[in-house]
Amino acid sequence: MRFLIIDDNAADRELIIRQLQKEFQDAEFSQVGRPTELEAVLAQAPADFILTDYQLNWANGLQIFERVKALYPDVPVVMFTGTGSEEVAVEALRAGVNNYILKKHLDRLPIAVRESLEKTRLRKQYEEAISQLQRSEERYREIFEQGLTGVFAVTPEGKLLTCNPAFARIFGFASVEQALEANLSTLYGGPEKYASFVQQLSQEKRLEYSELELLRLDSSPVYIVANVVGSFDTQGKLKEFTGYFFDNTEQHHLAGQLQQAQRLESVGLLVSGIAHDFNNMLGGILGYSSRGLSRISTSHPLYNNLAHIHEIATGAAKMTQQLLAFSRRQVLEPADVDLNKVVKNLLEFLGKILADHIDIMFVPDPELHTVHVDYAQIEQVVMNLCINARDAMAEGGRLTIRTRNVGHEEVKRISHGEMPAEAYVLLTVQDTGIGMDEQTRSRIFEPFFTTKEVGKGTGLGLSMVHGIVGQHNGYISVDSQVGKGTTFNIYLPAIDVMHTLPLPYLQDASEDAQEVRGGDETILVVEDDPDLRYLMEEALGDYGYTVMSARDGVEGLQLFEKHKDSIALVISDLVTPKMKGKELYDRIHAMSAETHFLFVSGYHANQISQNFVLDKGFVFLQKPFDLDDLAAKVREILVQ
């Protein structure tokens, strides 16, 4: 304890110190006998307890008390005097002095100090309790009034006794007053469902993390996580209950989207896992049928059979490519593209394939940013969405295609952090067709799911759109209502640069009709499928090339080491036994940097690197391929 004693009589100060030391042996004492000393002491650290004489030769104790309290309002003060009267004591106590003692009774001073300290402690506890209560009330009021969770109290009959603004907002009421006029049972979809909820609460007394599907004022569903506690009378009958409703609607929808994405990813993994082997088989069928057709005349009895085999295998190959697009496993060749040009150059063709009674409207953004995409794949996306819209408007309607830029703030608002790019280009395809219910809308991206009649669609169109958009790091959303049409929104990451793109539809058609030429160079073929290896050897041999073949990467490397001076081109599958295509390339490139490479693959799951092929500038040929296309690619590479 640190005591400050203010008295102009030194003997009295000494007497006071002796009395206090009896009770407070380790106390420290500061003494003030003159006014100059008082100011110096008060300027230092405050004492724990102050004692002052009432009658000083330069001031009275009440003046001293006012001076001390102004500086240190929480320090207790005891006043003593040798000549004070009862009136002075009352005046001092009213002013706030903790105690008042006559000097002739200084033996009572330690007790008075103890009592004053205890009163000060209790007063501080009381003030702190009041302050905590006020803060608690303010926090409760803030949580109740401004919180995001709906707070309410209600009778078993459904009458709302109180609720907060969040409760009104969750259920679509304009105000708390409007909400209080409603009966809670209407939010449950009827008295029966509400009665069942009340019965469950009566039995269990409280419900924690209970998931409920309720209705908003406009009858739209709202998914709630509820914590509810019942209040019961002495007979155990439910009197009322209070609770918290957390709006979990957005998380419910996100969980549904996650489940759908996981389901689609599982199918995609299955598709990509079998695509490599299936494409090899189709390559063999196409190759042998093609070779057979080239060796017989159209009048031959087997010509039509071989032609049908080739046609069916070609269709199967196209379906495989659609499945690979859905599973995001096909190899892309991206470039900087203006989506406005993509749509504009499709408009004439769309006009031909859509019904005459469907009006097409294109609303482009003249300041549209560029996107880095595979032109042919994005063109396929637009085509599939437009064909899907046509089928939804059998009785006619309007098809609207829009493009516009989406900035960073809008991206954050619509994606809640799920779309990482700073800016996107939005492509919207909207129809006025029959629309979809929620159940149909949740399945439209599943492969082979279709609402069309048997034989009128494979169910791969929208699943392919979903895969292509995802592989371009884009996002797709669907808004549809029965009888009110459907809107597809596709978001593709935007880039700043603008390029004039040599579009594929502007190429001279005569280029495709040019006769394939052969050569006399030596080619090494590395292919693990024996049928494809034989067909590639035979076909390239017919074009005049000298062909060596290997069944795996190790054998291919050994052949190259023996004949590296004569081999001009290596044709290799990207996924071969013992040594993958990339390692084979690295090993051969280290021996001969001039040797050309052509990679082929059925693109087996994620075992090859698309970026490796594209970044190095290799020519890539997707299996299954036509043998004449192979010869054309070979000639194109060798004449570079």
Let me know: does 128 contact 120? Beta carbons within 8 Å.
Answer: no
Say how far apart CA 254 and CA 248 lie, in whole Å: 10
Say how far apart CA 81 and CA 79 lie, in whole Å: 7
- What is the CATH number that goes with domain 147-247? 3.30.450.20
Average pLDDT, stretch 344-369? 84
Average pLDDT, stretch 265-276? 66
The residue with greater pLDDT, 418 or 631, is: 631
Convert 38-74 into a string of H (helix), E (strand) and C (coil): HHHHHHCCCCCEEEEECECCCCEHHHHHHHHHHHCCC
Residue 521 pLDDT = 92
pLDDT tens-digit map of 14-35? 988 988 988 888 888 989 888 8
The residue with greater pLDDT, 422 or 261, is: 422
The domain 254-326 is placed in CATH, from the list 3.40.50.880, 1.10.287.130, 1.10.10.10, 3.40.190.10, at 1.10.287.130
Q: What is the model's pTM?
A: 0.41
pLDDT tens-digit map of 443-468? 777 755 555 553 444 445 677 788 78
- CB-based burial label for 422 (10 Å; 0-12, 13-18, 19+): exposed
Say how far apart CA 380 and CA 321 lie, in whole Å: 12
Question: How confident is residue 606, by pLDDT bands cut at 50, 70 and 90?
Answer: very low
Let me know: does 472 contact 335? Beta carbons within 8 Å.
Answer: no
Non-local (6+) Cβ contacts of 447 within 8 A are: 267, 271, 323, 326, 459, 460, 463
Average pLDDT, stretch 214-238? 90
Average pLDDT, stretch 473-487? 88
Phi, psi (degrees; rounded to nearest 5) at 84: -65, 155
Return the minimum-mean-pLDDT range out of 218-222, 282-286, 316-320, 335-339. Answer: 316-320
Question: How confident is residue 427, by pLDDT bands cut at 50, 70 and 90?
Answer: very high
Residue 509 has pLDDT above 80, yes or no: no
The superfamily CATH assigns to domain 512-638 is Response regulator (3.40.50.2300)
The domain 335-501 is placed in CATH, from the list 3.90.420.10, 3.40.50.10860, 1.10.10.10, 3.30.565.10, at 3.30.565.10
Q: Following DSSP, what letter does each residue of 404-437 receive, concatenated?
A: EEE-HHHHHHHHTT---SS-EEEEEEEE-S----
Query: What residue spans in the chain does CATH classification 3.40.50.2300 cover?
Result: 2-123, 512-638
Residue 9 has pLDDT above 60, yes or no: yes
Non-local (6+) Cβ contacts of 235 within 8 A are: none
Let me know: does 217 contact 171? Beta carbons within 8 Å.
Answer: yes
Q: Residue written as tokens 């004949």?
A: 563
Q: Residue written as tokens 């030391």?
A: 21
Residue 146 has pLDDT above 80, yes or no: no
Say how far apart CA 198 and CA 194 lie, in whole Å: 6
Let me know: does 492 contact 371? Beta carbons within 8 Å.
Answer: yes
Say how far apart CA 308 and CA 287 lie, in whole Å: 13
Average pLDDT, stretch 428-433? 92
Class of domain 2-123: alpha beta
- The rounded mean pLDDT for the chain is 81
What percentage of the chain reaches a pLDDT higher than 90? 21
Residue 500 pLDDT = 39
What percentage of the chain reaches a pLDDT higher than 70? 84
pLDDT tens-digit map of 532-545? 898 899 889 989 99
Residue 168 pLDDT = 92
Residue 298 has pLDDT above 90, yes or no: no
**CA 392, 397, 401, 406 torsion-angle sign:** negative
Question: How confident is residue 473, by pLDDT bands cut at 50, 70 and 90?
Answer: confident
Residue 80 pLDDT = 85
Say how far apart CA 111 and CA 116 lie, in whole Å: 9
Let me know: does 162 contact 144? Beta carbons within 8 Å.
Answer: no
Phi, psi (degrees; rounded to nearest 5) at 83: -130, 10
Residue 53 has pLDDT above 70, yes or no: yes
Q: What is the DSSP letter of 183?
A: B
What is the DSSP pairing of strand 596-601 with strand 567-573? parallel
Q: Which helix (H) or strand (E) holds 105?
A: none
Question: How confident is residue 613, by pLDDT bands cut at 50, 70 and 90?
Answer: low
The b/e string for 388-408 (b: 16+ C-beta within 10 A; e otherwise) is: bbbbbbeeebebbbbbbebee
Query: What residue spans in the chain does CATH classification 3.30.450.20 cover?
Result: 147-247
Residue 276 has pLDDT above 80, yes or no: no
Residue 74 has pLDDT above 90, yes or no: no
Return the minimum-mean-pLDDT range out of 272-276, 312-316, 434-438, 560-564. Answer: 272-276
pLDDT tens-digit map of 81-137? 877 677 777 888 888 888 888 888 888 888 888 888 888 888 888 888 887 877 777
Question: How confident is residue 328, by pLDDT bands cut at 50, 70 and 90?
Answer: very low
Q: Residue written as tokens 């002013």?
A: 95
Read off the tokens for 312: 């069916």
| 12 three-class SS | helix
